[in-house]
């Protein structure tokens, strides 16, 4: 009899805590959304596994409105009020444990710090190096011009045949970010010049199984860490069922980044003048190294600096390259030929006195309005990081009229913000000229534009990314016109981001990590 009472009590408790409390008594129960999502986090995990999380959440917003409950302790928002509340400067919201999978060498960095204070202290060390003024003039600008020249040379080497630009644009962004971070002497790559070892650094990024490893790392972190740290017979036994075979994603990049840091460290310890002769992010961080700064709570050790650079390294490859790929692909569509013609017309108006070393100066092309509109529209429709950006607050708060208990995970995504049909007419249509319309309409769209995040966590590399994108776009369309390669007319390129493949959903076929474009030399 006692056993039955205990069993009954356990059953009642289970029903209360797993059904009644989350669905009816919890403050989050008032937030609209599907009941199964509210009951278990594994319902959203299923969408993650299928690679449909972001599109599913967007569909939920279209059905339920600007705030949706997507898990027992998780909410997704899609409103300006929520954007200001969660991501605005001084909001107090912190990054969640999700970002810790991007730690490098066991150390946190700008991308993975939860606390605002920790992030702010680290950001002070490098923010000036990423300023717009330094991106448009000086060593960084000259470096970008050099990489554009090398990319154009690569196009010429490959002749008149259709070219696969997903790979070549990654060579461009890889070389640019490594030279910016480490300088030419210590870690700068030469993928554009054909260095096979440097090109191979991209292999662990493009492997499609990295999506499954990301899923396991987020949803089963303890099991994943255990599986990948086994040795001997157990390692061989587990090998067939690993989400991604070793070496796993980012392995090559992190190895290169660590070796680059130690090459710089050895040089800095023997030739201190290197700090001024070859400016780089690693040289700026070195001034805070414990061997230079001395005993200080803000001093960094070697792995702190290596982790910081490795994070910028990874962040600077896919984002720029993927955006440029979609920009060229969109302009190459037959229905968008008038956009390409107008862009070509604008870049050809650049005056001769705006050139330096055979290339237009970055501060001159920064002022081209149609070029800016084309890039902005590409970032709107094909944001390279379109998925959710999770945050949490240690205290209760109110978002869009709903009470959000402390430590609830709240999210927003560029994907949903940029597809609001009330803000963006025909949101799935590529139309750069929307950004050249009436001022009040453009101002409203700008408030919803979120390709680089916002507030204190806004992408630190946005000015470098914009410099690379503007310079290469001008370089290509000053000398060429582009069109879709034969056989690729009905295909959209696809990019990998976390668990998902993103693409243009208006096309019937997806070619992941492939984009075939024909370049035609422009008539002078």
Domain spans of the chain, in order of start: 73-207+249-521
- Rounded to whole angstroms, the Cα distance separating 377 from 435 reads 8
* Spatial distance between the Cα atoms of 319 and 302, rounded to a whole number of angstroms: 27
- CA–CA separation, 188 and 257 (whole Å): 10
Whole-angstrom CA distances from 392 to 119, 199, 222, 406 are 15, 38, 22, 7
Q: How far apart are CA 401 and CA 403, in angstroms?
A: 7
CA atoms of 253 and 170, how far apart (whole Å): 13
Q: Are 353 and 331 in contact (CB under 8 A)?
A: no
| b (16+ CB within 10 A) / e for 458-491 | ebbbbbbbbbbbbbbbbbbbebbbbbbbeebeeb
List of residues 6+ apart from 422 with CB closer than 8 A: none
Helix axis angle for 337-347 and 369-381, nearest 10°, is 140
Per-residue model confidence as pLDDT tens digits over 409-420: 999 999 999 999
pTM of the model: 0.95
Q: Which residues have C-beta within 8 Å of that of residue 130, sequence separation ≥ 6?
A: 460, 461, 462, 463, 464
Distance in Å from the first CA to the final CA of the chain: 95
Distance CA 219, CA 212 (A): 10
| 3-class DSSP assignment, residue 270 | helix
Please report the sign of the dihedral spanned by the C-alpha atoms of residue 19, residue 23, residue 26, residue 32.
positive
Measured distance CA(162)–CA(165) in Å, rounded: 9
Q: Report the candidate in 43, 81, 31 with the shortest Cα–Cα distance to residue 405.
A: 31
Joined tokens for residue 23: 């669905």
H or E element that contains 517 = strand 516-521
The span from the CA of 361 to the CA of 127, in Å, is: 23
Q: Which residues pair with 494 in a beta bridge?
A: 512
Structure tokens belonging to residue 421: 């049909």
**What is the dihedral sign for C-alpha 364, 370, 376, 382?**
negative
Kindly list the strands in the beta sheet with 516-521, ordered across the sheet, starting from the edge strand earlier in the chain. Answer: 163-164, 516-521, 480-484
- Which fold, 73-207+249-521? Cytochrome p450 (1.10.630)
The total number of residues written for the chain in this structure? 524
pLDDT at res. 26: 82
Question: How high is the pLDDT of residue 65?
Answer: 97
Is the separation of the CB atoms in 267 and 185 below 8 Å? Answer: yes
Q: Give pLDDT < 70 ranges for the chain.
A: 6, 8-9, 12-13, 15-17, 21, 23, 25, 275-276, 523-524
DSSP class of 162: -
Beta-bridge partners for 76:
68, 411
């Amino acid at each position: 009899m006692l056993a039955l009472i205990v069993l009954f009590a356990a059953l009642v408790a289970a029903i209360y805590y797993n059904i009644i409390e989350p669905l009816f008594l919890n403050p989050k129960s008032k937030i609209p959304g599907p009941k199964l999502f509210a009951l278990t986090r594994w319902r959203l995990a299923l969408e993650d596994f299928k690679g449909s999380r972001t599109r599913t959440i967007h569909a939920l917003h279209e059905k339920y409105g600007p705030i949706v409950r997507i898990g027992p302790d998780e909410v997704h928002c899609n409103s300006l009020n929520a954007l200001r509340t969660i991501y605005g400067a001084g909001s107090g919201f912190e990054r969640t444990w999700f970002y810790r999978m991007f730690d490098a060498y066991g150390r946190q960095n700008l991308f993975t710090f939860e606390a605002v204070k920790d992030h702010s202290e680290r950001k002070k060390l490098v923010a000036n190096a990423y300023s717009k003024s330094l991106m448009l003039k000086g060593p960084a600008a000259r470096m970008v011009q050099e990489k554009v020249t090398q990319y154009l040379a690569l196009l010429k080497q490959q002749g008149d045949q259709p070219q696969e630009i997903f790979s070549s644009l990654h060579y461009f962004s890889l070389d640019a970010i490594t030279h910016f971070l480490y300088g030419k002497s210590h870690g700068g790559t030469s993928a554009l010049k054909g260095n096979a070892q440097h090109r191979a650094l991209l292999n662990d990024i493009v492997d499609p199984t990295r999506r499954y490893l990301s899923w396991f790392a987020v949803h089963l972190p303890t099991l994943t860490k255990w599986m990948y740290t086994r040795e001997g017979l157990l390692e061989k036994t587990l090998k067939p069922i690993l989400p991604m075979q070793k070496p796993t994603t980012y392995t090559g990049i992190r190895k290169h980044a660590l070796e680059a840091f130690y090459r710089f460290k050895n040089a800095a310890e023997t030739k201190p003048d290197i700090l001024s002769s070859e400016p780089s992010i690693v040289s700026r961080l070195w001034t805070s190294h414990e061997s230079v700064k001395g005993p200080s709570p803000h001093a960094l050790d070697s792995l702190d600096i290596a982790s910081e650079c490795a994070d910028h390294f990874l962040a600077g490859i896919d984002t720029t390259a993927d955006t440029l790929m979609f920009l060229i692909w969109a302009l190459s569509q037959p229905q968008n030929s008038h956009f390409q013609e107008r862009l070509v017309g604008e870049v050809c108006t650049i005056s001769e006195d705006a050139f330096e070393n055979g290339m237009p100066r970055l501060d001159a092309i920064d002022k081209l309005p149609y070029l800016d509109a084309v890039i902005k529209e590409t970032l709107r429709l094909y944001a390279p990081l379109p998925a959710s950006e999770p945050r949490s607050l240690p205290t209760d708060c109110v978002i869009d009229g709903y009470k959000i208990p402390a430590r609830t995970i709240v999210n927003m995504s560029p994907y949903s913000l940029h597809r609001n049909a009330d803000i963006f007419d025909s949101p799935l249509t590529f139309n750069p000229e929307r950004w050249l319309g009436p001022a009040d309409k453009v101002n409203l769209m700008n408030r919803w534009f979120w390709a680089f995040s916002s507030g204190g966590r806004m992408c630190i590399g946005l000015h470098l990314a914009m410099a690379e994108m503007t310079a290469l776009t001008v370089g290509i369309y000053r000398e060429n016109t582009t069109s879709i390669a034969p056989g690729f007319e009905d295909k959209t390129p696809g990019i990998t981001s976390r668990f998902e493949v993103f693409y243009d959903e208006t096309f019937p076929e997806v070619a992941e990590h492939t984009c075939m474009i024909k370049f035609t030399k422009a008539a002078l």
